[in-house]
Structure 1
Amino acid sequence: MGTLPLFISGGEIAFIVFILVMVFGADKVPEIAKGLGQGMRSIKNATNEIKSEVMKSADKHKTDVSGVKTDVTKEIDKVKEDIEEITGSVKRRF
């Protein structure tokens, strides 16, 4: 499977899922995964809002932020990719 950015192997993920099932029961695991997905979506929305506010502020002050915009966009895209990679593995497991 490979290693996730958090350096968690497939075996460790399986062990965590096993513990979750043992502690919360099989019927609660989908609810937990749904909550995690909603949390990730909230983070994604917050980053988009921050990006929007930065761009509005720059436009308001008529500052040339093309370099800053590119850097911010790259960083946000990296965070989105990391979130998608993490939530993708969670979605595949459930």
Structure 2
Amino acid sequence: GAGKSTLVNVLFGLYRPDAGQVVIADEPVQLTGPDDAISRGVGMVHQHFQLVPPMSVVRNIVLGAEPTRLAMVDLDFARDQVLALQQRF
């Protein structure tokens, strides 16, 4: 098609662009992979995203990027972050 998936994969560091550049916060960057993209504030929700039914809304939202405190998932912090995002958007 139109290249939407390819563009998203470039922005998430999965593909390197053949031409042009990725610019984040007015700075050209060369993303080395998803971890690099995430550290720069770029995330991706995959097209076929599925929730995990037995998990809470908060746990589903932070799945894969769970905040921790003392090696335990910090659900209070996660919930506060989710609520802040809800208010923002």
The bucket for the TM-score relative to the shorter chain is: under 0.3
TM-score with structure 2 length normalisation? 0.26
Higher share in strand: 2
Higher share in helix: 1
TM-score with structure 1 length normalisation? 0.25
